Amino acid sequence: MKKIALVTGATSGIGEACARKLAENGYNMIITGRRTERLEAIAAELHALDVEVLPLVFDVRDREAATAAIQGLPDEWQEIDVLVNNAGGAWGLEPEYEGNYEDWDTMIDTNIKGLLTMTRLVVPGMVERDHGHVVNIGSVAGDAAYGGGNVYCATKSAVKALSDGLRIDVAHTKVRVTNIKPGLVETNFSVTRFHGDKDRADGVYKGIQPLTGADIAECVAFAVSAPEHVQVAELLVLATHQASGSVIHRQ
């Protein structure tokens, strides 16, 4: 019987790449996102890989919708083997004392509370079955703050702490927890951060070859394919010319 993986935020970027990679590796896929048409299009493409796909349209910030979706899974979809908590993002790059309240709420509600909601809904089943793997998509930004990153960096620091805490909480089981921490990844991330300003977003990657969503998906696949006695607790992944969240050599 094929294993089941659930990827949140699967309509673009790292989440979409993870869904494709895990499907290529034979997982039946539960994919979630907010855009119905995009989610259904990706589901159709994944079907071509000879796997079953269940698209679920909801925002991880909406706890009631997330709960209804997960608790309402058909019997054959309930035993989730891998949970990839990918849904998240950054909004704004202002100094902390000039930050936008709505941007703060969006980041905290998505990057922290959304991750917590999905963990709370899925992990009890893993613990009961004594099997499963949680992969949280963190960031190099969770290691140290950078200019303008304030609240986003704080949310990714929280992802690290929540990953570490969950790993402690499930240490008596065979459930594994991995925190993947990407550096510069060229996705829709920067367009979101700059509220749709594509030119400004493109400047983030100027002079450096950034990572791609597929690069991060390879790291996720590596972690979940390790033998059951091997737990890849944390994986920092940077572009070759990036040394940290704030040190980047541009050519």
Closest CA to 169 of 126, 212, 118, 106: 126
28 close to 53: Cβ distance less than 8 angstroms = yes
For this structure, is 152 an active site residue? yes
In angstroms, the CA 216 to CA 18 distance is: 8
The residue from 27, 146, 152, 205 that is catalytic is 152
Closest CA to 237 of 217, 216, 223, 218: 216
CA of 97: how far to CAs of 121, 175, 192, in Å? 35, 41, 21
Beta-carbon contacts of residue 210 (< 8 Å; ≥ 6 apart): 183, 184, 185, 186, 239
Structural tokens at position 62: 């909406």
Structural tokens at position 208: 């450096």
In angstroms, the CA 183 to CA 202 distance is: 16
Question: Active-site positions?
Answer: 152
